């Protein structure tokens, strides 16, 4: 079925149409929306695009970085100042998918995809969205919890604070096929250290619930402690708390629960 | 619903077609332009056999809205040969038995070209990474990797 394609020069015009038309979907890199159209998704009758330059802007010079929603993973990888995001960006797709897929689109990618969002959740990113109400900033966790209702909003950008050093932010994606494959589970950890102790730990998990979630019990086990073997063991044993993984072709819910603690322990101990 | 006029460069030649809203680039190339070299595999971004170069960058044509290539340059396998001669990558694929059924070959060749255009002497790991979005189910990856390395080092028959 043919759809109507509407292209706007400004993001706010595109956002206006998205919020007023329930059958409209925003087309970013195409890896989600074109796939849905190829599969004959009749719920989409309008495709909205915006050629707004602001959507592809990268601001990576300061301590707080901002990525336009239309920034591709290939561009993240080409940016030396975004080195802390290179591992998650590289874990997505093959080169063609990284040339197309965008940071904003990844926020909507259902499990077993959406790995970059796991990294952003651990980094406590802020999502700037525009809707019929104007634009506002939403904490990424809140955005993800209401993701089913976000189809009518246009993501403008995501921003987060640069981790203090390469040890403070860690990422690990478990896939059956290497170097490319859908996620069995994905883990990211932000571990700011203050006076030798962890202050403000954030652990994010992908494919352990319908959306990317935080492992709050594991975070509590880390908070205020030094990253020693006992602390790591306590965090690893708390990793499944609050999770609700499901079965799919890449792994069963049981298997995901079995391995999440193992991989969290390896991530926190700096093992390969 | 009215058709949308679309113009772009296809293998160095200007083309003008009319597409339906929502048509993907793969359908535009195969059904409207008659270039059958990019193949339909999965329609989901998982297999890579529809790979083409858009302004020199590797893209999946089945996930590309045709309208988004307006005014841009699209290269497919059909444009790879140089007159009557095969491209060195094509010769290397033949020399190294890198195609069995051949269905993945168009995508493999475009992914390999995207790599060698930017990095003329890649390592084996870089070749593996470059074709990581392309699935082969019968030839096996080793001959394909060897062919790309052979093309990069000029080890191809005349």
pLDDT tens string for chain A (272 positions)?
689 999 999 999 999 999 999 899 999 999 999 999 999 999 999 999 999 999 999 999 999 999 999 999 999 999 999 999 999 999 999 999 999 999 999 999 998 999 999 999 999 999 999 987 789 999 999 999 998 887 788 999 999 999 999 999 999 999 998 777 899 999 999 999 999 999 999 999 999 999 999 999 999 999 999 999 999 999 999 999 999 999 999 999 999 999 999 999 999 999 87
Please report, for chain B, the start and end positions of each structural domain, with discontinuous segments joined by +.
Answer: 4-77, 88-152
Q: What is the DSSP letter of A257?
A: H
Residue pLDDT, tens place only, A47-73: 999 999 999 999 999 999 999 999 999
Q: Do A34 and B59 touch (CB under 8 A)?
A: no
Rounded Cα distance, B149 and B147, in Å: 5
Q: Do A5 and B65 touch (CB under 8 A)?
A: yes
Examine the fold and report which residue of A121, A141, A161 is the final residue of a domain before the chain moves on.
A161
Same structural domain, A153 and A249: no
Residue pLDDT, tens place only, B30-88: 999 999 999 999 999 999 999 999 999 999 999 999 999 999 999 999 999 988 899 99
CB A177 within 8 A of CB B137: no
Which residue of chain A comes nearest to B19, CA vs CA?
A2
Tell me the residue ranges of DSSP E strands in B11-125: 13-19, 51-54, 57-60, 73-75
Of A31, A49, A95, the CB nearest to B111: A95
Q: Show residues of chain A in contact with B74, CB under 8 Å.
A: none
* Structural domain count of chain A: 3
Q: Show residues of chain B in contact with A36, CB under 8 Å.
A: none
Q: Show residues of chain B in contact with A95, CB under 8 Å.
A: 58, 111, 114-115, 129-130, 132-133
In this prediction, residues B123-130 reach a mean pLDDT of 97
CATH 1.10.150.120 fits B88-152, yes or no: yes
Q: Do A37 and B24 touch (CB under 8 A)?
A: yes
β-strand pairing of A193-194 with A197-198: antiparallel
Rg (C-alpha) for chain B, rounded Å, is 16
Rounded Cα distance, A44 and A35, in Å: 12
Q: Is B61 helix (H, G, I), strand (E, B) or coil?
A: helix
- Please tell me if residue A179 touches chain B, with a CB cutoff of 8 Å: yes
Q: Do A34 and B21 touch (CB under 8 A)?
A: no
Give the pLDDT of residue B133.
96
Domain that holds residue A251: 169-269
Among A86, A272, A269, A80, which residue's Cα sits nearest to residue A191?
A: A269
* Burial class of residue B45 in the structure, from the number of CB atoms within 10 Å of its CB (0-12 exposed, 13-18 middle, 19+ buried): buried
In CATH, the architecture of B4-77 is Roll (3.10)
Which residues of chain B have a Cβ shorter than 8 Å from any chain A Cβ? Answer: 1, 4, 20-24, 43-45, 48, 51, 57-60, 62-65, 67-68, 111, 114-115, 128-134
Q: What contacts B72, CB < 8 A, 6 or more positions away?
A: B8, B9, B54, B55
Examine the fold and report which residue of A144, A161, A178 is the final residue of a domain before the chain moves on.
A161
CA distances from B141 to A108, A251, B58, B90, B93 (A): 32, 25, 19, 16, 12
């Amino acid at each position: 079925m043919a759809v109507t394609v509407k292209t706007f020069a400004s993001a706010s015009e595109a956002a206006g149409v998205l919020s007023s038309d329930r059958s409209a979907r925003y087309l970013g890199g195409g890896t989600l929306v074109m796939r849905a159209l190829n599969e004959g998704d009749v719920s989409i009758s309008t495709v909205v695009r915006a050629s707004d330059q602001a959507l592809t802007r990268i601001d990576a010079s300061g301590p707080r970085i901002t990525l336009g929603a239309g920034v591709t993973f290939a561009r993240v990888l080409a940016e030396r100042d975004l080195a802390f995001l290179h591992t998650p960006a590289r874990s997505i797709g093959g080169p063609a998918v990284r040339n197309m897929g965008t940071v904003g689109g990844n926020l909507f990618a259902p499990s077993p995809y959406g790995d970059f969002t796991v990294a952003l959740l651990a980094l406590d990113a802020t999502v700037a969205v525009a809707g019929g109400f104007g634009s506002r900033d939403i904490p990424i966790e809140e955005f993800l919890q209401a993701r089913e209702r976000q189809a009518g909003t246009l993501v403008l950008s995501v921003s987060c604070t640069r981790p203090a050093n390469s040890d403070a932010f860690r990422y690990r994606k478990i896939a059956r096929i290497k170097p490319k494959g859908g996620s069995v589970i994905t883990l990211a950890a932000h571990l700011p250290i203050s006076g030798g102790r962890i202050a403000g730990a954030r652990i994010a998990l992908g494919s352990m619930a319908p959306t990317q979630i935080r492992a709050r019990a594991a975070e509590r086990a880390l908070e205020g402690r030094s990253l020693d073997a006992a602390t790591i063991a306590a965090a690893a044993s708390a990793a499944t708390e609050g999770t609700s993984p499901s079965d799919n072709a890449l792994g069963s819910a049981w298997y995901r629960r079995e391995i999440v603690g193992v991989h969290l322990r390896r991530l926190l101990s700096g093992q390969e | 619903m009215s058709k949308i006029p679309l113009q772009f460069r296809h293998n160095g030649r200007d083309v003008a077609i009319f597409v339906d809203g929502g048509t993907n680039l793969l359908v535009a190339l195969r059904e409207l332009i008659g270039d059958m070299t990019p193949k339909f595999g999965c329609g989901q971004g998982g297999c890579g056999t529809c790979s083409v170069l858009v302004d020199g960058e590797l893209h999946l044509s089945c996930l590309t809205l045709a309208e988004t290539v307006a005014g841009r340059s699209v290269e497919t396998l059909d444009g790879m040969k140089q007159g009557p001669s095969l491209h060195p990558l094509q010769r290397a694929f033949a020399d190294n038995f890198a195609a069995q059924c051949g269905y993945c070959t168009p995508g493999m060749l475009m992914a390999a070209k995207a790599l060698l255009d930017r990095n003329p002497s890649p390592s084996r790991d870089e070749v593996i990474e470059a074709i990581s979005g392309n699935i082969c189910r019968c030839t096996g990856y080793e001959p394909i990797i060897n062919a790309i390395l052979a093309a990069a080092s000029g080890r191809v028959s005349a």
